[in-house]
Structure 1
Amino acid sequence: MTNLMWARSVEWLAAAATNPGACKRQWDQGSGSALLEAGRYWDVLSVPEQLGLLALDILWSDPLQVPGPTLADCAARRVGFFLPPDPASRWEGSGLRHLGKGSWIAVPPPYRSAGPLEWIVPPDGTGVLHPALSLELALRQANGTLVVLEPPAGEQPPAARRPG
């Protein structure tokens, strides 16, 4: 990204802060993240890491659509997809967490990681987000793939089996 693109992405992301100036100073002077409120400019759908990475790979396979901002929490092993705010949205599935109005999320600046938080796809400053329908379809496909790859109940995955 060029410096102008980084500057636009910082402005876009900091706009969600209660005090955008303080947020930008915190990013510039600190090494951490800032707490930003979801539900105004974007919501976040947080999913288990394996599901999220597979869904993101599926989203990348469409050459006509660039995925929106995607954040990884390496400590919690979760992936957060930034999507348009939708107060009526009902995301269902094991381990899915929809963060909308009234929810807060720790966010690093778009130009670096902060502890366990890092951007897989940083915001580009244009306001592009993941379309909810595309994300839902990618998650369904990823979940189907994971179900097929999951060993039958009570059986250990091949890497964990002991030699006979």
Structure 2
Amino acid sequence: MTNTMWTRGVEWLAAAAADPRACKWEWDHGEGIALLEAGRFWDVLSVPERLGLLTLDLLWQPALPVPGPTLVDFTAGRVGFFLPPDPSGGWVGAGLRHATRGSWVAVPPPYRPARSLEWLVPPDGTGTLHSPGTLEDALRQANGTLAVLAAQTGGDRAPGGHER
């Protein structure tokens, strides 16, 4: 990414903070992580890491637009996909967590990781987000692939990491 893209990504993310200046200061001088409220500019759909990484891989296809911002939390073992706000909270499924209005998301700056948080696809500042329909299709495909792999290896866990 170019410096202009980093700057736009920082401004875009910081706009979700109650105090954008304090958010940017925290990224540069504090712990490097800001808590941003979901539901105004974006929601975050958090999924188990293995499912999320496979889903992101499926989204990187020439026929599809570049995926929206995607964050990984290595400690929690989760991948978060930034998508348009959905006040209905329509995302339901084993292992899925939908952060919308009233939820807070720990976010590092777009230009570097902080603690266990790292951008797999940093925001570019244009406001591009994951398309809910495209994301849902990729999640279903990834979940199916993981179910087949679990069956082939005799795994005792479902793709979302839950006991069967």
| Number of equivalenced pairs | 157
- AA at the equivalent of 2:127: G
In structure 2, distance between residues paired with 1:152 and 1:64: 30
Structure 1: segments with no counterpart, 5+ residues: 158-164
1:148 corresponds to: 148
SS in 1 for 2:137: helix
CA distance in 2, matches of 1:115, 1:156: 31
Aligned alpha-carbon RMSD (Å): 1.8
Q: Deviations over 1:37-62 (max 9, x none)?
A: 00000000000000000000110024
SS in structure 1 of the partner of residue 144 of structure 2: helix
Alignment correspondent of 1:162: none
Aligned sequence identity (%): 68
Query: How far has the Cα of 1:128 moved from its partner?
Result: 0.2
TM-score, with normalisation over the residues of structure 1? 0.91
The answer for the alignment partner of 1:32 in structure 2 is 32
- Matched to 1:131, the amino acid is S
Q: Secondary structure at the match of 1:95?
A: coil
Deviation at 1:30, TM superposition (A): 2.4
Measure, in 2, the Cα distance between the counterparts of 1:53 and 1:30: 29
Gap runs ≥5 in structure 2: 158-164
In structure 1, the residue matched to 2:161 is: none
- Structure 1 position 20 matched with structure 2 position 20: yes
TM-score (norm 2): 0.91
Residue 121 of structure 2 aligns with an amino acid whose one-letter code is V
State which structure, 1 or 2, has the greater radius of gyration over its C-alpha atoms: 1
Give 4+ residue runs of structure 1 displaced > 4 Å after superposition. 152-157
Correspondence 1:70 to 2:76: no
Change (3 A) 1:152 1:83: same
- Aligned residue for 2:17, secondary structure, equals coil
In the TM superposition, residue 155 of structure 1 has moved relative to its aligned partner by: 5.7
**Equivalence for 2:108:** 108
1:82-93 alignment to 2 at 5 Å? 82-93=82-93
Instruction: Name the structure 1 match of 2:58.
Output: 58
- CA distance in 2 between counterparts of 1:86 and 1:155 reads 34
The verdict on how the C-alpha distance between 1:127 and 1:155 changes in structure 2, with shifts beyond 3 A counting, is: closer
Shift of 1:5: 1.0
Letter aligned with residue 4 of structure 1: T
